[in-house]
Structure 1
Amino acid sequence: MSAIELRGVEKTYGSTRVIHGIDLAVEKGEFVVFVGPSGCGKSTLLRMIAGLEDITSGEIALDGDVVNDVEPARRGLSMVFQSYALYPHMTVAGNMSFGLRMTGTSRVETERRVAEAAEILQLAPLLKRKPSQLSGGQRQRVAIGRAIVRQPRAFLFDEPLSNLDAELRVAMRVEISKLHQQLGTTMIYVTHDQVEAMTLADRIVVLRAGRIEQVGTPARLYADPDNVFVAGFIGSPRMNLLRATSDGETVTLAGIGFRPRLAALPQGAVTLGLRPEQFFQPEGETASLAVEVDVVENLGASTIAHGRLADGQPILVERRGKDRASGAKRLEVRFALADALIFDADGQRLR
């Protein structure tokens, strides 16, 4: 039995449909990340699971029980928001225990749960401080601690790291990952940052315009995307998506023809997908491309060359170690035919 199951879930505002028939099962103890661009419906979907938004049609089930008409407080879920939403006049301990005190939990049990959560989140020395005396990362940990003490059946995170700077975001990603390992509780996490999705998730749900584009492990989505949208959204730097043509046997890109490893090819326009790092030491049967370099970004262990093909299409090339691009204005790069992903004129993957 799945911990959280969505069956044909839809949401409309007036005549505008924003969520289109979502079917999804989240297993017990799984860490699932909803990712997609702004406005794709990921936060709306999370709020519907929490009960903060009514669903127009379909069913949401928790541990097999349909909860469409169950109030948020009775669903046994804890939500962590983008804003910390801490009471400024209360201490850390007061903020973490507030929900328990409101539900009549005994003082002894409340103190025990707060102490346990504080130990997990390394907040024990800060329990007597108020939010104004904490850093952004510490405030977010207090917000997470407030959720932990409720001992929910699942955690819902709505872009909890968006207000933190880059260094704190990395640190908090590690903390949330450790928290999941320690608690083993089901977690659903919303973000527009595909790096967060790749580093945290057991499975990623890629959303666009209120529809699921693909569901899979981070490795699966990175290496085996179903369409152009997923291919371009997952991965940093993003995949090169290059316009090409096919005669049914040979694909031609910037004047260079090669035969990809596919059983059948359509005739006409296709899109060729190659990740920037796939030009580095390719193995097996290869093809070559000439790249005119515009700008080189030096990242230390690697460089990213921003260039153009002979037909003017932009392309990114990552080089590593001693093979890093320097001041060269022209590169001859090779890629393995086995690495080339081909998409049809509608953006769907050809396999």
Structure 2
Amino acid sequence: MSEIVLKQVRKSYGGSEVIHGVDLQVGEGEFCVFVGPSGCGKSTLLRMIAGLEDISGGTVELGGRVVNDVEPSARGLAMVFQSYALYPHMSVKANMSFGLRMTGHSKQETEARVVEAARILQLDSLMDRKPSQLSGGQRQRVAIGRAIVRQPKAFLFDEPLSNLDAELRVAMRVEIAKLHRDLGATMIYVTHDQVEAMTLADKIVVLRAGVVEQVGSPAELYTNPGNVFVAGFIGSPRMNLLSAVSDGQRVSLGAVQFKPSLNAPPPAGPVTIGIRPEQFEAQQDSVVLKLAVEVVENLGASSIVHARLPDGQEVLVEQRGKSRAGDGEMIEVRVERQEILFFGADGIRLR
């Protein structure tokens, strides 16, 4: 069993609490991603699971066993860091086998595990090279291979792609996704990049200031965010979050008034409207907004239009097809009422 369960896990430094009672269950074989802005506590939480940080409160269970006081080396976990931490004087093969040799594994078993890891990661032709003769992506694959040969209960990744350029990051995301598919292992992955989170995860844990804001699948967090923070953090380009006012029945966004598509009337007072840039495609039952275009980012298959409402609020619009807006134009865009999300003054989703 490689299920990982956190129960009311807390972490304090002196009198300052940085992880606030986290409850989480990561199922066997699940790919779980911790995501959030810098300083939100995601790496600290990962290190507590690994045993590299002491736990101030609560419990960490691995396979049904509480491991709060178990040494990191005895937890059966393998960790891959942002830094490759390879021995520069050793070959790829020696780097991958070093841990097994130090823990007394036989030569035959060590060789078999290294050969299998090299096959999975397509490192067969690089086994005699030194780290200085490898690209960044190849070095990271060696670091992952060193983790694979240990045959751990679970893999922990702490921003492993941060040192790579954009093209290599994309390639390595694919490699890690394939690795999870091939091994079927439990994996927890830390990143501040929500694109990585969306493309890799079975389950995403969104953290802010040591608190879990929401847990769910990528599709669930994208289409059904529970609060303003999650709505604005998940998705690229970001969701438009616009200030509006409710009279208890209708919502006013500047001069535009409409009745929201909600189960209950919105409370009177300020509300926030959420609209994703790609949702401005409606033809009927729609809310019409008039925008002044400021800048257009041409991305080839699509364009991102940076525009403003008459009251000055910025709106991003994703456009596809041949007919696209130009700088300085006035345009009208439409969004279906049921696609619009609403958040109360406290930032919590209205439904």
Report the TM-score range of the alignment, normalised by the length of the smaller protein.
Answer: over 0.9
Say whether residues 1:272 and 2:277 are aligned partners: no
Instruction: Give the alignment of 1:1-351 within 5 angstroms.
Output: 3-262=3-262, 263-280=264-281, 282=282, 284-327=284-327, 329-351=329-351
User: Is contact 2:2–2:186 with CA below 8 Å preserved after alignment?
Assistant: no
User: Is contact 2:292–2:307 with CA below 8 Å preserved after alignment?
Assistant: yes
User: Is contact 2:2–2:29 with CA below 8 Å preserved after alignment?
Assistant: no
Unaligned runs of 5+ in 2: none
Give the superposition deviation at 1:200: 0.1
CA distance in 2, matches of 1:106, 1:186: 26
Aligned residue identity for 2:133: Q
User: Is contact 1:91–1:128 with CA below 8 Å preserved after alignment?
Assistant: yes
User: Is contact 1:2–1:25 with CA below 8 Å preserved after alignment?
Assistant: no
Aligned residue identity for 2:113: R
Aligned residue identity for 2:261: R
Aligned residue identity for 1:24: L
Give the superposition deviation at 1:322: 2.2
CA distance in 1, matches of 2:167, 2:254: 41
Aligned residues: 350
CA distance in 1, matches of 2:106, 2:283: 64
Give the superposition deviation at 1:327: 4.2
Q: Return the TM-score normalized by structure 2.
A: 0.98
Give the superposition deviation at 1:284: 4.4
CA distance in 1, matches of 2:195, 2:44: 21
Larger mean Cα displacement after TM superposition, 244-253 or 328-337: 328-337
CA distance in 2, matches of 1:232, 1:66: 36
Give the superposition deviation at 1:325: 2.1
Q: Return the TM-score normalized by structure 1.
A: 0.98
Give the superposition deviation at 1:316: 0.5
Unaligned runs of 5+ in 1: none
1:260-317 deviation per Cα after TM superposition (whole angstroms, max 9, x unaligned)? 111221000000000001002x254101001011100001111111011010011101
CA distance in 2, matches of 1:215, 1:60: 18
Give the superposition deviation at 1:2: 6.9
CA distance in 2, matches of 1:234, 1:287: 24
CA distance in 1, matches of 2:229, 2:161: 24
CA distance in 2, matches of 1:125, 1:310: 61
1:86-119 deviation per Cα after TM superposition (whole angstroms, max 9, x unaligned)? 0001100011011101100000100100000000
Q: Calculate the aligned-residue CA RMSD, in Å.
A: 0.9
Aligned residue identity for 1:61: E
CA distance in 1, matches of 2:148, 2:277: 41
